[in-house]
Amino acid sequence: MEIYVLFMLPCILLVFFAQFRVKAAFNKYSKVPVSSGLSGAEAARRMLDSAGLGRVAIEPVQGFLSDHYDPRTKVLRLSPEVYNGRSLASVGVACHEAGHALQDANAYGPIVVRNALVPTAGIGSNLGVILIIGGMLLTGLIGPIGLKIAMLGVVLYAAVVVFQIVNLPVEFNASARAKKMLTQLGIVQGRQESAAVATMLSAAALTYVAATLTAIAHLLYYGLMIFGGRRN
């Protein structure tokens, strides 16, 4: 337990800090009207149309900051606050997600890899952990077979780490596209508005960094638990 706390406590604190920071930034800038007067949905539509992506639909979806782009259906889904809001926060989040649609249309390398990893990462985050814990518990009963089961779980969980690492450039690039297009299309105007959007997107980026570090810490802990125990 002490080793687990040593590995995970810093990551847990970072996750909470990142979530607090992004919510605080969104709440702050959701109260600041964007000078163009566009809603998040309208801003995303303008960005998509400027890139020739009129075929990408934009739909509202329930949930706070549940915004995402679905590459399978080519649909951009925005939370109510973002879809209807006419604030710096709304247009920033909406155009970040529109950035993912541009990545998909341009076959941006990291997003192609990330999308391909989704099924494996999903298995790793669920079955991988079950095999690790189950294998360690069974080691005392069936010896080496239990250890091999746990090792297989570690291999599966490693896919989660790879997914998170690949996801970082995807998210950073989507934000970079959004900041560039927001200015070029006149959705945000002036240094003050640009700086505000950049601040909010940077806060969101910290959540992806926190998720990656947490996945890496989990993998290191599982590896130490299994291979350290094996040496003992």
* pLDDT by 10-residue block (mean), the chain, 232 residues: 78 95 96 97 98 97 95 96 97 98 97 94 92 86 83 94 97 97 96 96 96 94 77 48
Q: Which residues span the domain enclosing 222?
A: 2-231
Report the amino acid identity of residue 115: N
Q: In the beta sheet, which residues pair with residue 58?
A: 76
Look at the chain and report how many structural domains it folds into.
1
User: 67 is written with which tokens?
Assistant: 């915004």
Q: 97 an active-site residue?
A: yes
SS3 71: coil
pLDDT for the residue 230: 52
Per DSSP, the three-state class of 62 is coil
* Per-residue confidence (pLDDT) for residue 79, from 0 to 100: 97
**21's tokens:** 């920071």
What is the model's pLDDT at position 206? Answer: 96
Q: How far apart are CA 159 and CA 161, in angstroms?
A: 5
How far is 27 from 87, CA to CA, in rounded Å?
10
Q: Centre a 10 Å sphere on the Cβ of residue 130 and count the other Cβ atoms it contains.
A: 12
Per-residue pLDDT, 138: 85
pLDDT score recorded for residue 227: 76
Q: One of 42, 81, 97, 171 is an active-site residue; which one?
A: 97
Angle of helix 109-123 relative to helix 144-184, nearest 10 degrees, comes to 150
Q: Which two tokens stand for residue 183?
A: 């200015």
